[in-house]
Amino acid sequence: MLKGKMTDLIKDATGRKFGDRTVSLHTETAFDTVVGQLFARDPNQWDIYCQPFTVDVANVKPRPYAILPKRIIQTPDVANGVRRIFSTNDDGLDYIPMPYNGFQFYGELKLDDVDDSVGYAVRADRVEFFNMPAITKQVRMELVLPWSEWDDAQDIPLPSGVANMIIQQAVATLSNQPVETNIYKPRK
């Protein structure tokens, strides 16, 4: 569903009493709640929401990094909203998400001597790399974006029925009605 169309449906359902910013804030909360719970059991479903970005890599010591070009949804797995990373100049490199303390273990075990994989960890505003070749100047990241980072003309690929759940929750919060925070246990 187009983001702008969903916003209009929510505004219509509330009698157009609220502006775009207010509707967007409530919709983002509903989106995060519904989609987050829906995909908690299968994090690979987040791949549907990925958008690609090419970003520059700052090759600095001790840890090369790339600044995130947009805010991301922090998913409950190690990839944490950065679903995949690809090199723009070497298709043979594998980028593997790892917890931040994984860099230490990787180095202590000298795995970087036998493995060409590049480890990455997501921080607040950046992605830090381990075992990154110095020649790498750019990478392509596939990011899971929150509601506010989508443009109104973009089609958000929501599974059947999910758009209605998001709309219902957003309308309920805008109308000061109680909202079910666990979508798997509806109220009686």
**Domain ranges across the chain:** 44-144
pLDDT at 9: 93
Q: What is the pLDDT of residues 71-91, one digit of tens each?
A: 998 888 888 889 999 988 867
pTM of the model: 0.82
Give the residue from 32, 100, 42 showing the smallest Cα distance to 72: 32
Which tokens in the block code for residue 153?
């003309």
Question: From CA 139, how far away is CA 57, in angstroms rounded?
Answer: 7
The pLDDT > 70 percentage for the chain reads 89
Q: Find tokens 């994984």 and name the residue.
A: 102
Q: Helix count (H) and strand count (E) of the chain?
A: 4, 7
Please tell me which residue, 59 or 184, carries the higher pLDDT value. 59
Residue, of 92 and 176, whose pLDDT is higher:
176
Average pLDDT score over residue span 110-131: 81
Average pLDDT, whole number, for the chain? 85
> Looking at the predicted structure, is the pLDDT value of residue 111 above 70?
no
